[in-house]
C-alpha cells in the first residue's frame, strides 16, 4: 500500500525544485548530505508540484533550490564567526572549500570507519615536507588514508595497525587489480546472491532442495543483529567468496553491506543499543514509522557498483610506488623484519604522518564487530592503545602516554635523524608535551586546525592539533 501523504500547504512560489541528485550536483554535496538536511529539518520536503509534504512517495521528493542556497550561505557565515579566532594559516587547514565528494573521493569511501582523517590534510603536509620517492610511515594507519594519499602523490608508504580488519580495509584500497577481471568477479558474486535470494525468498520458485538450510552460524551476535533473510543472504555470499580471486575486496563489500543492514534504529547508527525487529517511530525521520531491514539485496547492488567505480577511479590516479600495510603493534614493530629484505635500507624514510587513537574515545575493534564475527577475525583489543573500555581516568592516561611515546620512540630509533613527525591529535587533556619528551622528540610547531562542524549537532568550536616534531 502506498504511504499516506499529508499536504501541509499549497505551493507559494515558483522556486526551482530539485531532486536530491540535482541538488547534490549544484551544491557540490552528496545526495545523502541533502537528505541529512531534510531529516534534520534544515530544509523542507516538497513533491513534484511544489507542495510541502511530510513523506514522499517513490521518486517524487523535491527540495527547494532557494532554501538550500540560503542554508549554505548562512552556514558559511556561522562558520566564519566560529572560525574568527583562528589565524589564516589555521583556517587554511580547515579545508572549508573542499566539497564532500573530494573529502570522500575514490577508495577513501570504500568502507565506513569511525576516526579517519580527511585526505586533504595528509596532502597538505606531504606535499610540503616529503619528496616523491621517499617513504612516509603511519604507525596508526587505520583505514589507510595516509597510504592512499601518498600513493596519489608518488610517495612510498608503510602503515601499521593493530586491528586486522583495519589492515584488511587498507590493503584492499591499495591493492593492484586487473580491472576488467575485478569488475566481473564483483558483479558475478552479486548476481549469484540476488539469484539465491529470489529463489529462496520470493515464493516464485518451487524449491527442489532447501538451499538455505546449511546457511547457519553459531555467532550469537549475527543471529541477533540481522533479520533472518538478511543473514541467509550474507552467509550465502560469504560461502561463495573462496571461489574468487579478489577475496578481500569481496569481504569489504560484504562487510559494508552487512554494516548498513543491521537491525538498528536509524537514530542510533553510530552506537546501536539493542536490535530492532518491529517497525518503530523514528526520531531521526520526524516521527515517521521506519521498518527494520529484511534483505541485503538493494544495498549489496549499490555497494558492489560503487566499489568498482571507486577502485577504477583510484587506479587512474595512483603512481607507481610501493605501499606496505603491516598488521602489528607499533610499539614493537621492526621494519627490517616486517618489510621485504633490503627494502627499508634501499629507501629514504622521510618521516611519520599519523593520527593516533585518543584516550578512551573510540573502540576500534567493536565498531566493526559484525566483520570480526562474520569472517572469524581474531581481535587484539588488549593491545589497542587508549582502549575505550579502559576509560579516561588516571591509569588510562598514564598507559596512553606510555603507549604512544613508546611508538614514537620506536619510530625514532628506526628512522633517520632528519625525519619529520606529524601527529594529528585533539589533545584536550594536554598529554602530548609529556609524550614528545618521553619519545625524545622536540615540537617545532603546533598547528591548530579548526574542524568544521559538519553535523551541526555539536555547536562548540572545535579544533585539533597537528604537532610538527623532529628528533630532540
Ligand X SMILES: C[S@@+](CC[C@H](N)C(=O)[O-])C[C@H]1O[C@@H](n2cnc3c(N)ncnc32)[C@H](O)[C@@H]1O
Which chain residues interact with ligand X by CB under 6 A?
Answer: 113, 115-117, 140, 142-143, 145, 160-163, 166, 329-331, 355-357, 364, 383-385
Contact of 53 with 46, CB cutoff 8 Å: yes
| Nearer of residues 145 and 171 to ligand X, judged by Cβ | 145
| Nearer of residues 357 and 360 to ligand X, judged by Cβ | 357
| Nearer of residues 120 and 223 to ligand X, judged by Cβ | 120
Q: How far is the CB of 362 from ligand X (least distance, A)?
A: 7
Contact of 239 with 216, CB cutoff 8 Å: no
Q: How far is the CB of 138 from ligand X (least distance, A)?
A: 7
Rounded to 5 degrees, φ, ψ at 110 are -80, -25
| Nearer of residues 286 and 390 to ligand X, judged by Cβ | 390
| Nearer of residues 223 and 426 to ligand X, judged by Cβ | 426
| Nearer of residues 67 and 381 to ligand X, judged by Cβ | 381
| Nearer of residues 62 and 103 to ligand X, judged by Cβ | 103
* Number of other residues whose CB lies within 10 A of the CB of residue 12: 9
Residue 351's region, left for phi above 0, alpha for psi from -120 to 50, else beta, is left
Q: How far is the CB of 170 from ligand X (least distance, A)?
A: 8
Q: How far is the CB of 402 from ligand X (least distance, A)?
A: 11
Grid cell at residue 407: 611508538
Grid cell at residue 415: 628512522
| Nearer of residues 219 and 383 to ligand X, judged by Cβ | 383
| Nearer of residues 38 and 162 to ligand X, judged by Cβ | 162
State how far the Cα of 422 lies from the Cα of 130, in Å rounded to an integer: 11
State how far the Cα of 134 lies from the Cα of 141, in Å rounded to an integer: 17
Q: How far is the CB of 403 from ligand X (least distance, A)?
A: 6
Grid cell at residue 272: 546501536
Q: How far is the CB of 118 from ligand X (least distance, A)?
A: 8
Beta bridge partners of 463: 450
Q: Which residue is nearest to ligand X (CB)?
A: 142
| Nearer of residues 190 and 469 to ligand X, judged by Cβ | 469
Q: How far is the CB of 447 from ligand X (least distance, A)?
A: 16
Q: How many CA atoms lie within 13 A of 350 on its CB side?
A: 19
| Nearer of residues 161 and 238 to ligand X, judged by Cβ | 161
Q: How far is the CB of 158 from ligand X (least distance, A)?
A: 12
Beta bridge partners of 326: 160
Contact of 443 with 423, CB cutoff 8 Å: no
Q: How far is the CB of 29 from ligand X (least distance, A)?
A: 21
Q: How far is the CB of 234 from ligand X (least distance, A)?
A: 24
Q: How far is the CB of 411 from ligand X (least distance, A)?
A: 11
Grid cell at residue 29: 554535496
| Nearer of residues 113 and 196 to ligand X, judged by Cβ | 113
State how far the Cα of 376 lies from the Cα of 391, in Å rounded to an integer: 27
Q: How far is the CB of 370 from ligand X (least distance, A)?
A: 16
Amino acid at each position: 500500500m502506498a504511504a499516506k501523504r499529508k499536504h501541509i500547504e499549497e505551493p507559494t512560489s515558483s522556486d526551482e525544485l530539485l531532486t536530491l541528485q540535482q541538488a547534490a550536483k549544484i551544491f557540490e554535496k552528496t545526495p545523502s548530505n541533502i537528505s541529512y538536511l531534510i531529516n534534520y529539518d534544515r530544509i523542507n520536503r516538497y513533491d513534484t508540484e511544489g507542495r510541502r509534504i511530510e513523506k514522499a512517495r517513490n521518486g517524487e521528493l523535491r527540495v527547494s533550490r532557494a532554501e538550500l542556497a540560503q542554508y549554505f550561505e548562512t552556514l558559511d557565515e556561522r562558520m566564519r564567526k566560529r572560525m574568527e579566532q583562528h589565524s589564516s594559516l589555521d583556517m587554511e587547514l580547515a579545508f572549508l572549500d573542499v566539497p564532500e565528494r573530494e573529502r570522500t573521493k575514490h577508495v577513501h569511501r570504500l568502507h565506513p570507519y569511525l576516526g579517519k582523517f580527511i585526505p586533504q590534510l595528509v596532502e597538505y603536509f606531504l606535499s610540503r615536507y616529503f619528496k616523491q620517492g621517499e617513504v612516509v610511515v603511519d604507525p596508526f594507519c587505520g583505514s589507510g588514508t595516509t597510504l592512499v594519499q601518498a600513493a596519489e602523490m608518488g610517495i612510498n608508504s608503510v602503515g601499521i595497525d593493530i586491528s586486522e580488519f583495519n589492515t584488511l580495509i587498507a590493503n584492499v584500497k591499495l591493492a593492484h587489480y586487473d580491472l576488467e577481471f575485478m569488475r566481473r568477479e564483483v558483479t558475478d558474486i552479486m548476481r549469484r546472491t540476488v539469484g539465491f535470494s529470489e529463489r529462496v525468498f520470493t515464493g516464485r520458485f518451487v524449491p527442489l532442495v532447501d538451499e538455505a538450510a546449511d546457511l547457519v552460524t553459531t555467532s550469537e551476535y549475527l543471529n541477533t543483529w540481522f533479520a533472518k533473510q538478511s543473514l541467509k543472504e550474507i552467509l550465502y555470499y560469504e560461502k561463495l567468496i573462496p571461489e574468487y580471486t579478489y577475496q578481500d575486496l569481496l569481504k569489504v563489500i560484504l562487510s559494508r553491506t552487512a554494516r548498513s543492514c543491521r537491525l538498528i534504529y536509524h537514530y542510533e547508527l553510530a552506537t546501536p543499543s539493542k536490535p530492532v525487529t518491529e517497525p518503530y517511530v523514528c526520531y531521526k525521520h520526524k516521527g515517521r514509522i521506519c521498518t527494520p531491514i529484511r534483505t541485503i539485496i538493494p544495498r549489496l547492488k549499490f555497494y558492489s557498483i560503487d566499489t568498482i567505480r571507486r577502485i577504477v577511479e583510484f587506479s587512474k590516479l595512483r603512481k607507481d610506488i610501493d605501499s606496505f600495510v603491516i598488521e602489528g603493534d607499533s610499539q614493537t614493530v621492526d621494519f627490517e623484519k616486517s618489510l621485504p629484505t633490503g627494502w627499508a635500507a634501499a629507501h629514504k624514510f622521510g618521516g611519520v604522518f599519523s593520527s593516533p587513537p585518543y584516550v578512551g574515545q573510540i573502540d576500534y575493534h567493536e565498531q566493526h564487530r559484525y566483520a570480526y564475527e562474520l569472517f572469524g577475525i581474531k581481535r587484539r583489543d588488549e593491545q589497542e592503545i587508549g582502549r575505550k573500555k579502559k576509560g579516561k581516568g588516571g591509569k588510562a592516561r598514564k598507559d596512553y602516554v606510555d603507549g604512544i611515546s613508546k611508538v614514537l620512540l620506536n619510530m625514532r630509533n628506526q628512522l633517520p635523524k632528519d625525519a619529520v613527525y606529524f601527529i594529528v591529535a585533539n589533545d584536550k587533556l594536554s598529554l602530548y608535551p609529556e609524550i614528545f619528551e618521553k619519545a625524545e622528540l622536540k615540537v617545532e610547531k603546533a598547528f591548530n586546525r579548526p574542524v568544521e562542524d559538519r553535523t551541526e549537532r555539536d555547536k562548540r568550536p572545535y579544533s585539533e592539533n597537528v604537532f610538527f616534531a623532529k628528533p630532540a
